[in-house]
Amino acid sequence: MQGNAMQVIVKEEKETSSKRVVFPRLEILELEDLPKLKGFFLGMNDFRWPSLVIVKINKCPELTMFTSGQSTTPKLKYIQTSFGKISRERGLNFDETIDQTTFSASSEPTISKGMLCSFNSLLEINIEWENVGKTVVPYNALLQLEKLQQITIQGSHTLEEVFEVVALEGTNESQTVVQIPNLRQVKLANVGDLKYLWKSNQWTVLEFPNLTTLSIDKCKSLEHVFTRSMVNSLVQLQDLHISDCENIEVVVKEEEEKCDPKVNDIRLPRLKSLKLSKLPSFKGFCLGKEAFSLPKLETLQIKECRAIKVFTKGHVSTPELKVIDTGFGFRYVKTDINSLLKTKQEEVLLFISLLILEKAH
């Protein structure tokens, strides 16, 4: 349903009535490109939608309520918007206030700032070719993401940071650990200006204890993925795939602040698949001296990463890894990854030298 001047879908009559309004068979409701729409109905009647299972709302920036009265939707689980899926298990009425979902002042999003972007009801973030500004999740919403399960972002060229982490310099506050407890899947593609998934600092640490899949493709400004302080929180991470990111140098970045000296072993206990391809600036998985334990790693792919010299500078344990898939074919892991990479580099250099000698003769 479209209309530039439409403010309501159902208009309130002059004679007020307290009768309940029922849409007995309505299953799908789509509202799109309604710049003046303030609500479905602004009167005080109660609404019942016994069959409603799909609600899609897109480009309705002035929508701040659905109905003023009670609105019951027993089959509706979420609302689909251009920002993502919003939980609506309690019906179509909005209980959260706009203040709870204010975006960062620097973000300048084009997506609605109203109640449809309530972060504490957010199930999924799904953004395709939308301008959301520089940040998707503002700092003041980090503690409201208990329901968030999935993030998919494609083609947002102004985005610089997925989670805004503010540096609280000059304060005496201790370090804050923020968990995103139910986030399981993150997919980022064609986000050209993305510099950080989350910018680490000494005041705030983000943890993702249930993240299982992370896929990053064509994010040319990204230089690293995780920081040393939060990588041990990734206890459920199983699949990590990074491709076609020309400036990525490492997966795990060492921080300027010294980490706890007692923590000298980095574990990714469930990581099964690690695929790295078309990363011309990639130097290694981590260039710190900590030991790495990857006890479940079965698939390791390293292709078109011409700058790599070591996998890690510390010891790396991969008891289940049998072969590495490289641009030159599969290589059996007889000792460890670092030794294999060194051998492979020597083989490549020897091959190039032989070609040069052959051409010279």
Sequence-distant (≥ 6) Cβ neighbours of residue 355 within 8 angstroms:
none
Whether the pLDDT of residue 221 is over 70: the answer is: yes
Which residue has tokens 């008891």?
A: 319
Which residue has tokens 């983000």?
A: 206
Sequence-distant (≥ 6) Cβ neighbours of residue 219 within 8 angstroms:
188, 189, 190, 191, 192, 194, 245
Backbone angles phi, psi at 39, to 5 degrees: -175, 165
Contact 55, 29 (CB under 8 A): yes
Chain-centre distance of CA 276, in angstroms? 18
pLDDT of res. 204: 80
Q: What digits encode the pLDDT tens for the residues 150-180?
A: 999 998 878 999 998 876 655 556 678 889 9
pLDDT of res. 108: 42
User: Could you tell me the pTM of the whole model?
Assistant: 0.80
Of the pLDDT bands very low, low, confident and very high (cuts 50, 70, 90), residue 95 is very low
Q: With 0-12 CB in 10 A as exposed, 13-18 as middle and 19+ as buried, what is 146? A: middle
Mean pLDDT value of segment 21-30: 91
Q: What digits encode the pLDDT tens for the residues 63-85?
A: 877 887 788 888 888 888 878 88
Of the pLDDT bands very low, low, confident and very high (cuts 50, 70, 90), residue 216 is very high
Of the pLDDT bands very low, low, confident and very high (cuts 50, 70, 90), residue 15 is low
Mean pLDDT of the chain: 79
